[in-house]
Amino acid sequence: MSDFTIGRANGAVAVRSSSDLYRAVWRWHFYAGLLVLPFLITLAITGALYLFRDEIDGAVYADLKRVEIQENVARAAPSAMVAAALAAYPGTAVKFTDPVSPGSSAEITVTTPANGKLAVYVNPYDGKVLGSLPDRGTIMWTIRTLHSLKYFGSFARSLIEIAGGWSILLVATGIYLWWPRSQTGGVMSIRGTPKRRVFWRDTHAVTGIVVGFFIVFLAVTGMPWSGVWGAKVNEWANGSNFGYPVGVRTAVPMSDEHLDHIAKTSWSLEQAQVPQSSGHGGVAIGLDQAVATFDKLGLHRGYAVNIPATPSGVYTGSVYPDDLSQQRVVHLDQYSGKPLIDMSYADYGPLGKALEWGINVHMGQEFGLANQLVLLAACVAIVLLAVSAGIMWWKRRPKGSLGVPPMPADRRVFRGLIALLAIGGILFPLVGLSLVVMLALDWTYPRFRRAIRFAPPAADV
């Protein structure tokens, strides 16, 4: 009898332990969703749009970005196009962008006294100005700043790191909750109709298990843009050899200017210092010869040329096409025209290559249209995941309550969570800090509520 009782007691303990673990995971899955789902919806919608940035901008600004192809017609000289842009919009030309295709216009970036930086579009065949936009003023640039939360300032950008870390926690806890436990549905099939909660539960579970990989991938590859982790890792990755990849010749005079300050560049080269031209007081080669040199060096079409603004400045040609292997940055001495530094994706170290590959896939570039369509489907699924979570919660939520899943009876199940805090805090400081804050609130708030509920009423005076 005693053996039977002990066996039954041990079984009860095992069941309770399993139930407590499930409650703890469910509770933190709820918290992760509460914090992350609004961000996921915003990131999914803006990210889906940005996947097709070239197509959308090309359609919206067709009168500026598209030109009629003229066969057997020599293109206008870059200097002539710059002169035409400056005649229409007086100021200082700081960048010339080569047409990416025969049907594309050239873009000249001009700093004007009254209107700031403008992107001036010029027909490369006849040199006529087509019009202008504020620099980085297209719809897709706005979508990009919204997607990175840069639109809302530096503090908001730090939320990207927190949202990314909590997204990974959301997926990990979601997999545990989804794991089959003798149920007859809801694993890879959906039961019921939209009127029933089980339909939305199964829709959420099945969608989550399919799209979970993409959420983790997008969260990890989005981390380089975060305000704290991304910035610190960027500094560390570029902390030696003037920020350039190992093996790239840098035995030339270097300025204090960083590449990211003068040209749109890849994440791995943001901290790279820009070399200086020698031979001050000599005759500069001019934009036309610089462009001819970049063409001879084989830069991918659509490259941008930053025009030197000082006697020691350089012509910087840079291009970041969909094909990673064609990424390239070349600095030319503005007097001799010789390349001072010539680097490409092949020169990056293992960390740089891995990060740039992840970023390229994240942006829908690496595998062409297939990359765009797969990530578009993932973004739609993420929105469905968030919507189904909200409907499921609303149908389950007790009236007048937030509907937080119950606290486990045995708090020892949180040991694993505390280990997660330590790992998260080391890898991603802001994520670890947010987990600590949430854990403290989760432990103290119930006590605070009970204290208020059972506090004796104040005596009448």
| pLDDT tens, residue by residue, 64-114 | 999 999 988 889 999 999 999 999 999 999 999 999 999 999 999 999 998
pLDDT at 66: 96
Residue 415 clears pLDDT 70, i.e. is over it? yes
Tell the residue number behind the tokens 């020698």, with chain if given.
278
pLDDT at 451: 62
Exposed, middle or buried: residue 357 (CB in 10 Å: 0-12, 13-18, 19+)?
middle
For the 62-137 domain, the top CATH level (class) is alpha beta
Angle at 166 between CA 163 and CA 170, to 5 degrees: 125
Q: Which residues contact 208 (CB under 8 A, 6 or more apart)?
A: 171, 174, 178, 385
Q: Which residues are bridge partners to 66 per DSSP?
A: 104
| Mean of per-residue pLDDT scores for the chain | 84
Cα–Cα dist 251/32, whole Å: 50
- Are the CB atoms for 274 and 256 separated by under 8 Å? no
Angle at 349 between CA 345 and CA 353, to 5 degrees: 50
Residue 144 or 461, more confident: 144
Residue 244 per-residue DSSP state? S
Tell the residue number behind the tokens 């104040």, with chain if given.
458
| pLDDT tens, residue by residue, 362-413 | 999 999 999 999 999 999 999 999 999 999 888 888 777 777 887 777 777 7
CB atoms within 10 A of CB 71: 5
Give the whole-number percent of the chain exceeding pLDDT 70.
85
pLDDT at 237: 63
Q: How far is CA 195 from CA 177, 380, 395, 403, in A?
A: 23, 22, 10, 20
| pLDDT tens, residue by residue, 102-134 | 999 999 999 999 899 999 999 999 999 999 999
Ordered by start, the domain boundaries in the chain are 62-137, 247-348
What would the mean pLDDT of 31-41 be, rounded to a whole number? 89
| pLDDT tens, residue by residue, 8-29 | 444 444 444 567 888 888 888 9
Angle at 370 between CA 364 and CA 372, to 5 degrees: 30
- Which is nearest to 69 in space by CA: 99, 98, 97? 99
Cα–Cα dist 326/83, whole Å: 30
- Token pair for 117: 């930086």
Phi-psi region of 247 (alpha: psi -120 to 50; beta: other; left: phi over 0): left
pLDDT at 1: 41
Dump strand ranges (E) for 2-140. Answer: 92-97, 106-112, 116-122, 129-134
- The per-residue DSSP string of 360-377 comes to HHHTT-TTHHHHHHHHHH
Distance of alpha carbon 226 from its chain centroid, rounded?
A: 8
pTM for this prediction? 0.85
pLDDT at 461: 44
